Amino acid sequence: MREIFEAELQQLGDGLVDMSRLVESAISRAGTALLEADHQLAQDVIASDHEIDKLERELDERCVHLLAQQAPVATDLRIVISALRISATLERMGDLARHVAEVARGRYPAQAVAPAARETFEKMHEAAVHVAGRTSQLLTTRDVELAAEIEQDDDRLDTLHQDTFAAMLALSWSGTAQETIDVTLLGRYYERFGDHAVSVARRITFLVTGDFDTEHAHSRAEV
């Protein structure tokens, strides 16, 4: 019985890694579509979001099945509950990647990002791809050292997010209203990637270390 349960937990973990890899790819492609005004790539990201949604549903069903069949308690129970929450978080990261792609598609053939904010978004893209990669790695290895790196990436995204506001509020800002809207929304999407990654990192850390405070210290992983 225990062996079956362990195998099922392993499958849950594998499912989360699969989801996370898809999210990583979506974030990477969405950012490229945005920065290169690549309509086809944007379209691909939008079209493939349903695969992430589908994995979430399958994973959730597996969790419910596991709870019903195995009635886990203590740590085992928390692992299953955490898997449910992590899958919801990854699904939202996929949505955010889709939103970035939607902005890119909506402005095509123009660039969505105003020239004065471009460099900041190149850095945000880089940080988001990095944090998504770290998240997949953390889910694969459970190496909680990675959690600290994810927090750093999130801090970096927060700083870059502030930079977008500074750029738009500078006297030199000559963006159109559309460009101001887009930079505002895109900045928020990128900032949220970091928040969600931190949420996943804290849940994993909690599972590995049993330190409950870390799990609930996720106030930044909001909305």
Judged by the rule CB under 8 A, the positions of this chain that interact with a copy of itself are 53, 57, 63-64, 67-68, 71, 73-74, 77-78, 81, 84-85, 88, 91-92, 95-96, 99, 165, 168-169, 173, 175, 177-178, 180-181, 184-185, 188-189, 192, 196, 216, 219, 222-223
Shortest Cβ 110–a copy of itself spacing (Å): 14
Between residues 37 and 77, which has the closer beta carbon with respect to a copy of itself?
A: 77
- Cβ–Cβ < 8 Å for 94, 22: yes
Nearest to 200 by CA among 11, 62, 39, 17: 17
Shortest Cβ 129–a copy of itself spacing (Å): 18
Nearest to 186 by CA among 91, 99, 90, 95: 99
- Cβ–Cβ < 8 Å for 27, 128: yes
Between residues 1 and 74, which has the closer beta carbon with respect to a copy of itself?
A: 74
What phi, psi does 43 have (nearest 5°)? -55, -45
Between residues 51 and 53, which has the closer beta carbon with respect to a copy of itself?
A: 53
Rounded to whole angstroms, the Cα distance separating 118 from 104 reads 13
Any idea what DSSP says for residue 113? S
Shortest Cβ 215–a copy of itself spacing (Å): 9
Shortest Cβ 211–a copy of itself spacing (Å): 15
